Amino acid sequence: MKILYDLHTHTRYSDGRSSVEDNIKRAKELGLEKLAITDHGHGKWTSKKIKPKFYKQAKDEIKKYSAQYGLLCLFGIEANVIGMDGEIDITKGELKELDILLCGVHRKVCPKNLKTLLCFFLPNWLGIKSKKQIERNTRTVINVLEKNKIDILTHPGRYFPVDIMAIAKKCAEVGTLFELGRKEIPFSPQQFNEMQKIEGLQFIINSDAHGAEKIGQIKKVEEFLKLCEYKKEKIINLAD
């Protein structure tokens, strides 16, 4: 099982181990059609994020090495959910700089307000998995999908538990791709089979590589899909 392109990779601009050039070179070696460099948004409290002042430098590098290696490479950000009302850590001005916007729930993020700290981040940091918390988590992600034009929702359900069917339905409604990531998949093959029945929903498989050697690697997803009755046409970047 192979993917035609990989639209979720990190570099040293955030917490990746490789450079822009390393990623582009590796994607070319693998014969991928295109690549996206999507470092973490600045809402993370760690230093593992790309600050907007480095966007231009990153874009210049992407332009240079895309031309050098002959590979289409997009500049994007993997934004963080920072507010329960659908806020993410990217401004309208910053958005104009991007070719592609990814967004996902991450743990080490500065909440937008006290409500988000107390009702979203804190209970999830403590590992609370009550019905009420799952409803709140789900509502938060739905708000994010409704309020922002997100191209790819990264690793849905991975860190904080959600009603995955509700998230999948919203992705279909707003035209956001539902990502199957390289790491653990937090739903069952049965749930995936059900999700595939949602009209208009499309999936994308990405590596979420934090080192160039991981680009295009989808072993976990491959093992998972073998347990599912997957339909190739529902996964937009799956090669024959």
Q: Which CB, 168 or 196, lies closer to Zn ion?
A: 168
**What binding mask, one character per residue, do residues 18-57 give for Zn ion by CB under 5 A, x or -?**
----------------------------------------
CB of 179: closest distance to Zn ion in angstroms? 9
- Cα distance between residue 171 and residue 11, in whole Å: 27
CB of 39: closest distance to Zn ion in angstroms? 8
Question: HSE (CB half, 13 Å, CA atoms) of 172?
Answer: 15
Helix axes 20-30, 55-69, angle to 10 degrees: 30
Q: Which CB, 48 or 139, lies closer to Zn ion?
A: 48
CB of 199: closest distance to Zn ion in angstroms? 27
CB of 24: closest distance to Zn ion in angstroms? 17
Among 16, 43, 83, 104, binds Zn ion (CB under 5 A): 104
Which residue shows structure tokens 């799956």? 238
CB of 150: closest distance to Zn ion in angstroms? 13
Which residues 192-211 are close enough to bind Zn ion by CB under 5 A? Answer: 208
List for the chain the helix, strand, coil content (%; round to 5). Answer: 40, 20, 45
Amino acid at 163: D
Among 78, 87, 89, 179, binds Zn ion (CB under 5 A): 78
Sign of the CA dihedral running 176, 46, 121, 94: negative
Q: Which CB, 10 or 25, lies closer to Zn ion?
A: 10
Nearest to 107 by CA among 85, 133, 80, 86: 80
CB of 158: closest distance to Zn ion in angstroms? 8
The strand order across the sheet containing 152-153 reads: 5-9, 34-40, 72-80, 100-104, 152-153, 177-180, 203-205
Instruction: Specify the DSSP class assigned to residue 186.
Output: -
Q: Which residues does residue 9 pair with via DSSP β-bridges, in sequence order? A: 37, 209
**What binding mask, one character per residue, do residues 141-180 give for Zn ion by CB under 5 A, x or -?**
-------------x--------------------------
Q: Does 181 bind Zn ion (CB under 5 A)?
A: no
Q: Which CB, 78 or 87, lies closer to Zn ion?
A: 78
Count of residues touching Zn ion (by CB under 5 A): 4
Residues 6 or more apart whose Cβ sits within 8 Å of residue 229: 193, 196
CB of 100: closest distance to Zn ion in angstroms? 13
Q: Which stretch binds Zn ion (CB under 5 A): 60-68, 96-104, 123-131, 145-153?
A: 96-104
Give yes or no for a contact between 171 and 207, defined as CB atoms under 8 angstroms apart.
no
Name the residues that contact Zn ion, by CB under 5 A. 78, 104, 154, 208
